[in-house]
Structure 1
Amino acid sequence: MPKRVDHEERRRRVAEALWRIASTRGLESASLRDVAAEAGMSLGQLQHYFTGKDELLVFALGHINELATQRVRERILALHTGPGEPPPRDVLRETAKVMLPLDDESRSGILVQVAYFARAVVDERMLAHAQEGLPLLLDFFSGQIRRAVERGEVAAHRDPRTEAMLLMALTDGLANHALMGGWSAEEALRLIDVHLERLFTV
């Protein structure tokens, strides 16, 4: 009986091969042939799933975001074992941590995002796709800060949407500087903690 091929697993394998190349050699020098070899398949097999590099980047970025969401969920569950929803501050901190290059997995993910966004600036189709995720993250951060205001943990005069935008911008900027070696990822996390301490001081 012929072996059943898990096509979605193969697509994930290709995306993870792209991440490994990104973490060692950078994305721009990685051809589809390089990615195929890293994934242990032929170029023809890879092109059965992805017709070009941009399509591969779109899938890889989506897969990265799914894994990041899963990591945030697992970390929060590990921190919060009691009843009810976890504290907003913990949720925001753990989400920000996943957005920083604190380990190889996060670093590779950020490298893929940087390459993707660089292409999106000059490609309207990819730009539209990139813009889809920003409102979702903004709504998520805003919702957590709104919860914190309702719980009396953040001052009532703070506007949740504005504070969410500031936290997103701070985290993105710190991640990029840490990626370039301007400072360590640990120092970036310390600055996130400083910002959250100020935000959650009533």
Structure 2
Amino acid sequence: MPRQVDHAGRRRLIAEAVCRLADERGLEGVTLRDVAARAQVSMGAVQRCFRTKEEMLVFALGYISERIMERVRARLVRSPAQSAGTALGHAATEISLLREEHRAEARVWLAFVAQAAVSEVLARTLQANYATLQEAFTRLIEEVGEGAGRAVPLDAQRDAQLDAQREARTLLALADGLTTHVLIGHLTSQEAHDVLHAHLSALWEQPVRPPRTTSNR
């Protein structure tokens, strides 16, 4: 009887090999042959899982994205004692990849971000990830505003929603920037944590702001 092949498991094994190689030499150094050698499978096995290198990279990006998102989702699952602000702070810390144990993951993530600038299919994957995070962050920022007694009048809710979305976008951009600054040695991990904490602290002072009313006179 032919031996059953765990195709899903083999694809994950190959994705891990891609990530290890990307950590060592960037995505430009990732070849199908090197991936096969690192995963300890044949070239034919890699090609049966992925028709092209681009298809393999898309899967590997999804693989590492899901690993990060699992940690973020765990942070967003709140106990009754955890506030929306605390959940948001924990989640932002996770996606910043500032911990030493996540340094290799951060290098791989930024390698994919750089490649996505010239790969539409990788860019679409990243856009979907950021859209999911932005939605979750927007919701938490709104909760913080409501919990602080800053409820928004009904006629201003739409504009206030846009403000919350803007703050969520700002936070995502800050997290990515801190990842880069730590990796290149411009900031230490602790300094980056301090920057993130300071931004969140300022955000809680006025998390959702209705627009100014304009006079018709």
Greater CA radius of gyration, 1 or 2? 2
1:167 corresponds in structure 2 to 171
The question of 1:34 aligning with 2:30 is answered no
Residue identity opposite 1:192 in structure 2 = L
Deviation at 1:168, TM superposition (A): 1.0
Change (3 A) 1:12 1:166: same
CA contact (8 A) 2:98 2:192 kept: no
Deviation at 1:19, TM superposition (A): 1.6
Deviation at 1:51, TM superposition (A): 2.3
Of 99, 113, 126, 2:122 maps to 126
Deviation at 1:105, TM superposition (A): 5.9
Query: Alpha-carbon deviations, 1:49-104, whole Å to 9, x = none?
Result: 12232212211111112111222234566xx5x448x4222222222222223346
Return the alpha-carbon distance in structure 1 between the equivalents of residues 25 and 99 of structure 2. Answer: 17
Return the alpha-carbon distance in structure 2 between the equivalents of residues 154 and 109 of structure 1. Answer: 38
Query: Alpha-carbon deviations, 1:140-182, whole Å to 9, x = none?
Result: 1111101111111779679211111111111111111112221
Change (3 A) 1:120 1:73: closer
Change (3 A) 1:106 1:55: farther
RMSD: 2.6
2:68 corresponds in structure 1 to 68
After the TM superposition, which residues 48-59 of structure 1 pair with which residues of structure 2 at under 5 Å, given as runs?
48-59=48-59
Moved more, 123-132 or 33-42: 123-132
The question of 1:135 aligning with 2:118 is answered no
Runs of 4+ in 1 over 4 A off after TM superposition: 153-158
Runs (5+) with no aligned partner, structure 1: none
Return the alpha-carbon distance in structure 2 between the equivalents of residues 139 and 154 of structure 1. Answer: 20
1:43 corresponds in structure 2 to 43
1:149 corresponds in structure 2 to 145
The count of corresponding residues between Structure 1 and Structure 2 is: 198
Return the alpha-carbon distance in structure 2 between the equivalents of residues 118 and 59 of structure 1. Answer: 16
CA contact (8 A) 1:138 1:161 kept: yes
Query: Alpha-carbon deviations, 1:20-55, whole Å to 9, x = none?
Result: 222233332121211111111111111111223221
State, as a whole percentage, how many aligned pairs show the same letter: 39
Aligned residue for 1:181, secondary structure, equals coil
Return the alpha-carbon distance in structure 2 between the equivalents of residues 20 and 126 of structure 1. Answer: 18
Return the alpha-carbon distance in structure 1 between the equivalents of residues 150 and 22 of structure 2. Answer: 39
Of 198, 202, 208, 1:198 maps to 202
TM-score using structure 1 length: 0.83
Residue identity opposite 1:116 in structure 2 = F
Change (3 A) 1:166 1:66: same
Return the alpha-carbon distance in structure 2 between the equivalents of residues 133 and 72 of structure 1. Answer: 12
Change (3 A) 1:58 1:31: same
Query: Alpha-carbon deviations, 1:87-139, whole Å to 9, x = none?
Result: 22222222222222334663333333333333332333433343233322211
TM-score using structure 2 length: 0.78
